[in-house]
Structure 1
Amino acid sequence: MNIIYLVFGNKMDNYQQVYFSAYTAFAHKNTEDRIIVVAEDPSLFHSFQDEIEVIPISRELIKEWEGKYQFFWRVKIKALQLVAEKYPSDSILYLDGDTFFYDRMDALREGMKNGQNYMHVEEGKLSKLSSKTERLMWSQMKEKTYFNVKIDENSTMWNAGLIGISPKHFDCLGLTLGINDAMCADNVPRRLIEQFAFSLGLNEFSALKPADHVIGHYWGNKPEWNQIISHFLKEIFMKDYSLDKIIERIKQMDLAQIPIRVKESSTQRKLKNFIDGFYKNKKPVYIRK
């Protein structure tokens, strides 16, 4: 099984998240599992040495992968197609960087070997979801058909922080890409296009199952997790831990004590932004050469 991460751009938090998630994967994977990072800056993963495979991608390739409609998250679909072509017999377990393993992945591995596809968690039927983007998507797409997949009241949105694909069903990636591009051409609101395209494309080949019993996804509490991860990485690099020592340290952490989602006060956020914008630091002093 290939455990896959994708990271591009120059935001260091994103690379740190992949580091931490990969370490949790080491703590729970089997010897035959392979960790692959598709990265725009492969030099940031030299510390793993030969323990992971890094596939470099250029800025030019990323722009090509964004396609005709220059859709940012189309890159995820293309990256998975790249790995599927390289390893056509191995299951794909893709993870966003803001994830972590907290249990063994044996059931996922066996499920994909037997033809099961997974996404992180079911969010609900598009026709019943309540966010502004989801309501707009439903009003625009209901009863339409994209690549022979009809959008109806049972069409379900799944969270794409995890994508598990059986090698028996790699053709679902082509279907996902086609649906994604068709929705872009139809000017569907972009925020959730890639996620919904994966939900539809994978489900056509295998009724999706959730994987949140194995993987945590902290998209709803990134600031706290980023701080914890930054502290963790400082510790292991400053103390020059071996990989075995890092894995031991990961196993000691009680990740269930850190919330994966918190409800942020919109009033607090607006006040903070107002105060930060109103009060600026003054009279900076620099060294003289």
Structure 2
Amino acid sequence: MNNKVSICYVAYGKKLEICQQIYFSILSLLKYDTRKFDIHILTDSPEYFVRLSEYCHITVMTSQNITDWSGQYDYHFRIKLKALELLTEVSPDTDILFFDSDTFHYAAPDTLITALQQGYAIFHCNEGLLAKNRDNSLWSPLKYRKFANIEINYKTYMYNSGVVGLPASQASDILHQAITACDQMCRNLQKKGVVEQLAISAVAQTKLDCKFADKYVLHYWGNKSQWNELIRTHMTEVLLRNYNITEELSLLSSFDPIKIPIYKRTQINNQRLKSLADVMFPKIRSRYFSPSE
């Protein structure tokens, strides 16, 4: 078995914000001992990661890959599972550790790597029993039914797939079964939502004990706007000062991520009143430059 872990990021759709987030996440990872892992980026936008090419393996995803990996139900989160499956085919003897773009490494991944080597599956956090989730869009149509021979029932937990780690011994089988389950679930759903997350959660928890990464990795899915702004500010300074990666890592050392919320919620009444005020009293009046004829 390869002693190094394959750390994986996936970026598709040529979305600049996603690529910026991945860049920043990888930067936070480069602060630590990189001899324990290899970083892989699977993307259809390799031009956005040239600056990291010395530190990462970049695999180009074609438009055909994206079409094929979306599957017959055109479900874009399925692409993540297929990208991980490709990685297991390329390196079948290597543990894999996936991170969503909107993550930041607060600590070295050593604890997660050790857990993988001990045969655990890893997810970002345990979101609780699916049956008790406030969002009923998955539980109601899927309960007590089998998908890829896994029954969705009152014992099924939903794990957050912002981080997914699978030991090499089980990775290929779990991903294959999760993709099958995902496809079968999609057939029964009008609102697919995060069914990819449910599929891999349901399969992994029947095969392995699971550990969670939420004490080591910030997953700021609930406050992307603020994090995106601070990433843009960071990258602007790096560009204007013409920093190399070493200098950029030094700049990052002064950043304290726990001071930035990973989740923010705007009260619905606040949103409604602001929307009404914007209609009644437009706060922005636009004026455009008019060149002389």
What is the distance in 1 between the residues matched to 2:25 and 2:249? 11
SS in 2 for 1:252: coil
What is the distance in 2 between the residues matched to 1:203 and 1:54? 31
Equivalent residue for 1:268, pick from 263, 267, 270? 270
What is the distance in 1 between the residues matched to 2:165 and 2:190? 25
What is the distance in 2 between the residues matched to 1:158 and 1:195? 7
Residue-by-residue CA offset, 1:101-121 (whole Å, 9 max, x unaligned): 001211111111221110000
SS in 2 for 1:27: coil
1:146 aligns with 2:147: yes
The answer as to whether partners of 2:130 and 2:158 remain within 8 angstroms in 1 is: yes
Q: Taking structure 1 as reference, are residues 268 and 59 closer, same or farther at Cα in structure 2, changes over 3 Å only?
A: farther
SS in 2 for 1:136: coil
The TM-score normalised by the length of structure 1 is 0.93
The answer as to whether partners of 2:96 and 2:168 remain within 8 angstroms in 1 is: yes
Amino acid corresponding to residue 127 of structure 1 in structure 2:
A
Q: How does 1:212-223 map to 2 (within 5 A)?
A: 212-223=214-225
Amino acid corresponding to residue 88 of structure 1 in structure 2:
P
Equivalent position of 1:27 in the other structure = 31
The answer as to whether partners of 1:120 and 1:158 remain within 8 angstroms in 2 is: yes
Equivalent position of 2:261 in the other structure = 259
The answer as to whether partners of 1:28 and 1:101 remain within 8 angstroms in 2 is: no
Residue-by-residue CA offset, 1:48-100 (whole Å, 9 max, x unaligned): 23211111112222011111111111100001011111111221111111001
| Percent identity over paired residues | 27
Equivalent position of 1:61 in the other structure = 65
Equivalent residue for 1:127, pick from 118, 131, 139? 131
Amino acid corresponding to residue 145 of structure 2 in structure 1:
K
Structure 1 unaligned runs (5+)? none
Residue-by-residue CA offset, 1:155-203 (whole Å, 9 max, x unaligned): 0001111111111111100011011001011226300201101111222
What is the distance in 1 between the residues matched to 2:47 and 2:66? 17
Amino acid corresponding to residue 75 of structure 1 in structure 2:
I
Amino acid corresponding to residue 187 of structure 1 in structure 2:
L
Equivalent position of 1:232 in the other structure = 234
Cα root mean square deviation, aligned = 1.8
Amino acid corresponding to residue 156 of structure 2 in structure 1:
S
Equivalent residue for 1:245, pick from 238, 244, 247? 247
What is the distance in 2 between the residues matched to 1:194 and 1:52? 26
Q: How does 1:169-188 map to 2 (within 5 A)?
A: 169-170=170-171, 171-187=173-189
Q: Which moved more, 1:243-252 or 1:33-42?
A: 243-252
SS in 2 for 1:72: coil
Amino acid corresponding to residue 32 of structure 2 in structure 1:
H
Amino acid corresponding to residue 147 of structure 2 in structure 1:
Y
What is the distance in 1 between the residues matched to 2:199 and 2:190? 12
Equivalent position of 1:118 in the other structure = 122
Amino acid corresponding to residue 258 of structure 1 in structure 2:
I
Alpha-carbon offset, residue 236 of structure 1: 1.6
1:48 aligns with 2:41: no
Equivalent position of 1:166 in the other structure = 167
The answer as to whether partners of 2:182 and 2:199 remain within 8 angstroms in 1 is: yes
Equivalent residue for 2:80, pick from 71, 76, 81? 76
1:284 aligns with 2:288: yes
Structure 2 unaligned runs (5+)? none
What is the distance in 1 between the residues matched to 2:35 and 2:276? 51
The TM-score normalised by the length of structure 2 is 0.91
The answer as to whether partners of 1:121 and 1:211 remain within 8 angstroms in 2 is: yes
What is the distance in 1 between the residues matched to 2:87 and 2:279? 44
Amino acid corresponding to residue 63 of structure 1 in structure 2:
T
Q: How does 1:186-197 map to 2 (within 5 A)?
A: 186-187=188-189, 189-197=191-199
Amino acid corresponding to residue 221 of structure 2 in structure 1:
W
